Amino acid sequence: MKSLILQTASRYLMVLLVIFSVFVLLRGHNEPGGGFVGGLLIAGAFALYALAYEAKEARRLLRLDPRTIIGLGLVTAAGSGLAAVWHGQPFLTGLWLPYPIPFLGKLGTVFFFDLGVYLVVLGTTLLVLFTLEEE
Amino acid sequence: MPSLGVDLSFALDGLSLTFVLLVSGIGALVLIYSGAYFGEQPGGGRFFAYLLLFMGSMLGLVLSDNVITLFVFWELTSISSYLLIGFHHHTETSRASALKALLVTGAGGLLLLAGLLLMMLAAVQLGSPLEEAGRISALFSVDFRQHPLYLPILILLLLGAFTKSAQVPFHFWLPAAMAAPTPVSAYLHSATMVKAGVYLLARFHPILGGTIQWETLLIGVGVLTMLVGAIMAAGQRDLKRILAYSTISVLGILTTLLGVGTVLAVEAAVVFLVAHAFYKAALFMVAGNIDHETGIRDVTRLGGLRSLMPVTAIAGILASMSKAGTPPMFGFIGKEALYTAKLDIETIGLWLIIVAVLANVLLVAMSLVVAIWPFFGSFRQTPKSPHEAPTSMLLGPVLLAGLGMFVGLIPGAFDRSLGSAMATAILGFPVEMKLKLWHGFSRESVFVMALSGFTLATGFLLFKKLRPWLTRTLELACRLEPWGPGIRRAWQEGRLRHELTCRLEPLGPTRAYEGLLAGVTRSAQGVTRLIQSGYLRRYILITILAAVALVSYPLLHSIQPQLSENAWQLRPHEAVVALLILAGAITTVRARYRLTGVAALGVTGLGMALIFVMFGAPDLAITQVMVETLTVILFVLVFYHLPPFVPRSTRRQRFRDLTISIVAGLLMVFVMLATASIHLEPVLTDFFAQQSLSAAHGRNIVNVILVDFRALDTLGEITVLAVAGFGVYALLRLIASQKGEVEK
Sequence ranges of the domains in chain B: 1-208, 239-258+265-463, 480-532
Per-residue pLDDT for B736 more than 60? yes
Residue B469 has pLDDT above 50, yes or no: yes
At residue B473, does pLDDT exceed 70?
no
B630 contacts A47? CB cut-off 8 A: yes
The answer to whether B431 touches B424, Cβ cutoff 8 Å, is yes
Q: Are B314 and B376 in contact (CB under 8 A)?
A: no
Counting residues of chain A whose pLDDT is more than 70, the rounded percentage is: 96
In this prediction, residue B679 has a pLDDT band, given cuts at 50, 70 and 90, of: low
The answer to whether the beta carbons of residues B194 and B166 sit under 8 Å apart is yes
Collapsing DSSP states into helix, strand and coil, what is residue B138?
Answer: helix
Task: Evaluate if residue B489 carries a pLDDT over 80.
Answer: no
The per-residue pLDDT for A2 is 73
Please answer yes or no on whether A120 and B718 come within 8 Å at the CB atom.
yes
The minimal CB distance from B715 to the residues A28, A78, A135 is found for A78
Comparing B603 with B91, the larger pLDDT belongs to: B603
Q: Considering chain A, what percentage of its residues have pLDDT values greater than 90?
A: 26
pLDDT at residue B641, as a whole number: 76
pLDDT band, very low/low/confident/very high, at B722 (cuts 50, 70, 90): very high
Question: How many CA atoms does the CB half-sphere of B113 hold within 13 Å?
Answer: 13
Confidence of residue B485 (pLDDT cuts 50, 70, 90): very low
Chain B interface, best mutation among A36, A95, A109, by max B CB count within 10 A: A36
pLDDT at A1 exceeding the cut of 60:
no
Q: Give the number of C-alpha atoms closer than 13 A to the C-alpha of residue B112, restricted to the C-beta side.
A: 27
Residues in A closer than 8 angstroms to B615, CB to CB, are none
Chain A residues with CB under 8 Å of B704 CB are 29
Residue of B65 and B491 predicted with greater confidence: B65
Check: CB of residue B21 under 8 Å from CB of residue B413: no
Map residue B64 onto helix, strand or coil.
strand
Does residue A46 belong to the interface with chain B, where contact is any CB pair within 8 Å? no
Residue B26: pLDDT band with limits 50, 70, 90: very high
**Residue B468: is its pLDDT beyond 70?**
no
**Angle, helices B263-294/B239-260, rounded to nearest 10 degrees:** 170
With an 8 Å Cβ cutoff, is A89 touching chain B?
Answer: no
pLDDT tens-digit readout, B33-83: 888 888 767 777 888 889 999 999 999 999 998 999 999 999 999 999 999
Q: Which pLDDT belongs to residue B649?
A: 77
Residue B706's closest chain A neighbor by CA? A114
Q: Do A108 and B697 touch (CB under 8 A)?
A: yes
CB–CB of A127 and B718 under 8 A? no
Distance between CA atoms of B290 and B35, rounded to whole angstroms? 16
Supply the pLDDT for residue B482: 38
- Measured CA to CA, the distance from residue B641 to residue B632 in angstroms comes to 15
Percent of chain B whose pLDDT exceeds 70: 89
Q: What percent of chain B has pLDDT over 90?
A: 15
With a cut of 90, say whether residue A120 has pLDDT above it. yes
**Of the spans B65-74, B227-236, B258-267, which averages the highest pLDDT?**
B65-74
Give the A window 51-70 contacts with B, CB below 8 Å.
51, 66-67, 70
CB pairs under 8 A between A and B: 138
pLDDT in the model for residue B509: 67
Contact A46, A61 (CB under 8 A): yes
Which pLDDT score, from 0 to 100, does residue B651 have?
A: 85
Is A29 a residue whose pLDDT tops 90? no
Number of H helices, E strands in chain B: 31, 0
Query: Which range among B459-473, B542-556, B569-583, B730-744 shows the weakest confidence by mean pLDDT?
Result: B459-473
Helices marked H in B432-535 — which ranges? 443-479, 484-492, 496-504, 509-531
Range from A106-120, B106-120, B539-553, B628-642 that averages highest in pLDDT: B106-120
Chain-centroid distance of CA B604 in Å reads: 54
Q: What distance in Å separates the CA atoms of residue B248 and residue B460, rounded to the nearest whole number?
A: 21
Half-sphere exposure of A117 (CA within 13 A, CB side): 32
pLDDT at B424: 85
Mean pLDDT on A55-74: 90
For chain A, helix (H) and strand (E) counts, in that order, are 5, 0
Amino acid B221: pLDDT: 92
At B184 the pLDDT is: 87
What confidence category does residue B694 fall into, taking pLDDT thresholds of 50, 70 and 90? confident
Distance from CA of A74 to the nearest CA of B (A): 7
Phi, psi of B381 (to 5 degrees): -65, 135
Helix or strand (DSSP H, E) at B107: helix B92-125
Task: Check residue B743 and give its pLDDT.
Answer: 54
For B258, how many CA atoms within 13 A lie in the half-sphere containing its CB? 34
| Per-residue pLDDT, B255 | 92
Rounded distance between C-alpha atoms, residue B716 and residue B203, angstroms = 43
Question: Average pLDDT of chain B?
Answer: 82
* ipTM rounded to 2 decimals: 0.89
Using CA coordinates, name the residue in chain B closest to A131: B729
User: Which one of B633, B707, B725 has the shortest CB-CB distance to A113?
Assistant: B707
- Quick check: B218 and B255 in contact, CB under 8 A? yes
Cβ atoms of B548 and B666 closer than 8 Å: no
Is residue B201 within 8 Å of B15, Cβ to Cβ? Answer: no
- Residue B653's pLDDT is 85
Pick from B155, B174, B223: nearest CA to B510: B174
Higher pLDDT: B412 or B474? It is: B412
CA distance B42 to B644: 58
- Residues B502-520 have pLDDT tens digits of 555 545 566 677 778 888 8
Asked if B729's CB is within 8 angstroms of A127's CB, the reply is: yes
* Whole-angstrom distance, CA of residue B109 vs CA of residue B113: 6
Q: Please, which pLDDT band fits residue B742 given cuts at 50, 70 and 90?
A: low
Identify the CA nearest to B397 among candidates B239, B234, B187. B187
B729 contacts in A (CB within 8 Å)? 67, 127-128, 131
Are the C-beta atoms of B729 and A127 separated by less than 8 Å?
Answer: yes
Q: Is the dihedral of CA B371, B373, B376, B382 positive or negative?
A: negative
Can you state the angle between helices B330-343 and B443-479, rounded to 10 degrees?
100
Which residues, at least 6 apart from A78, have a Cβ–Cβ distance to it below 8 Å? Answer: A116, B715
- Whether the per-residue pLDDT at B700 is higher than 80: the answer is no
Nearest CA in chain B to A98: B697
Alpha-carbon gap, residue A84 to A93, rounded angstroms: 6
The gap from C-alpha B268 to its chain's centroid, in whole angstroms, comes to 30
Question: SS3 letters for B266-315?
Answer: HHHHHHHHHHHHHHHHHHHHHHHHHHHHHCCCEHHHCCCCCCCCHHHHHH
Checking if the pLDDT of B481 tops 50, the result is: no
A117 vs B637: CB contact, 8 Å cut-off? no
Band of pLDDT at residue B597, cut at 50, 70 and 90: confident
Q: Is A133 on the interface with B (CB under 8 A)?
A: yes
pLDDT of residue A104: 64
